[in-house]
Structure 1
Amino acid sequence: MQLEIRPDPAEVGRARKWARSRLAGSGIRDDESLAETLILLVSELVTNAVVHTGCPAVLRLSLPSGVTESATVRLEVADRSDRAPVPRCVDGEETGGRGLALVDGLADRWGWSPEGAGKRIWCELDRCAGSRDGATAYSGGASAYEGLAYEAV
């Protein structure tokens, strides 16, 4: 599944809405922490593509088919900019610059690679069974980059 993204900040909301509509068909409920985290990651990666590259992008989601207790959800944003993600140190008072630090802290895995004339930034969330109240949970990654944020520049 993929969505074409124009280089317009309004596309971030459209990308979130599109991703939410895809979750229901995969058996991931809106109230699952996995769904909430996935939508936040969509926001961060699409925002980075739209704001920092000025290029069109493509949002891709790979979701499990049907309800399963353990599966991996993969999110990718490909853009036409060949500029690599670069670490940023941000002041505690700044309102931006923490996008990829959030991705690093919330995703189980993430990375980037060249793709054609541009690049692809991806992240994965592992869905696993067994939260205390019986709802499906996911296992979130831990940040190894305390105090740093990243953006494509």
Structure 2
Amino acid sequence: MDTDRLCARVAEVAEGVYDLRLRPDPPVVRRWLAGRLTFGTAPAAALGYTVLVADELVTNAYDHTGVPLRLRYSRHRTGLLLEVTDAAPGKAQTLAAIRDGARGAGTGLAVVASLTLDWGVHHDAAEKTVWALMPTK
């Protein structure tokens, strides 16, 4: 592998974006994410939890908004940040209520909460992003 290709591959591992606008099948999204996160090495259990959390966030965007836009991951000193953005900012209040302990909904987000260091929602007038910070060890 030449140096330019290796550098590009390492940069791809640090941060990546997957376009969800055409609603790719979840297994395709999972394979894409796993392929990027396992470059070098990654503990199998941590990878499994990361893929599970990403799958839950993507599935929520598919099922509850109808307008998914992108899955983004980025490595940070504190962990791996997963972000799923959609074009339904009005749904942010529901997610905030689930985060604050509302019952009767959000089973998948309860799983997300139990596997992450933290998670949340931020939005503006056009988009909403649900994010989750995964531990790296």
Shorter-chain TM-score tier: 0.7 to 0.9
Q: CA deviation at 1:11?
A: 2.6
- Pick closer, same or farther for the CA change 1:44–1:12 going to 2, 3 Å: same
The corresponding residue for 1:74 is: 81
Q: Which runs of 5+ in 1 are unaligned?
A: 65-69, 91-95, 129-153
Q: How does 1:74-93 map to 2 (within 5 A)?
A: 74-82=81-89, 83-84=91-92, 85=95, 86-87=97-98, 89-90=103-104
TM-score (norm 1): 0.66
The corresponding residue for 1:134 is: none
Partner Cα distance (1:26, 1:62) in 2: 16
TM-score (norm 2): 0.73
Encode CA deviations 1:59-90: one digit per residue, 9 max, x unaligned.
Answer: 001137xxxxx851111001111111143634
Give, as a single letter, the amino acid of the residue that structure 2 aligns with 1:58: R
What is the RMSD computed on CA atoms of the aligned residues? 2.3
**Contact 1:58/1:78, CA 8 A, preserved across alignment:** yes
Matched residues, number: 115
Q: CA deviation at 1:27?
A: 2.9
Q: How does 1:19-38 map to 2 (within 5 A)?
A: 19-25=33-39, 27-29=41-43, 31=44, 33-38=45-50
Partner Cα distance (1:71, 1:22) in 2: 19
The corresponding residue for 1:46 is: 58
Off by >2 Å, runs of 4+ in structure 1: 86-90
Identity %: 30
Q: How does 1:112-131 map to 2 (within 5 A)?
A: 112-115=121-124, 117-128=126-137
Q: Which runs of 5+ in 2 are unaligned?
A: 1-15
**Contact 1:6/1:55, CA 8 A, preserved across alignment:** yes
Q: CA deviation at 1:22?
A: 0.7
Larger proportion of strand: 1
Partner Cα distance (1:119, 1:11) in 2: 21
Secondary structure of the structure 1 residue equivalent to 2:88: coil
Larger proportion of helix: 2
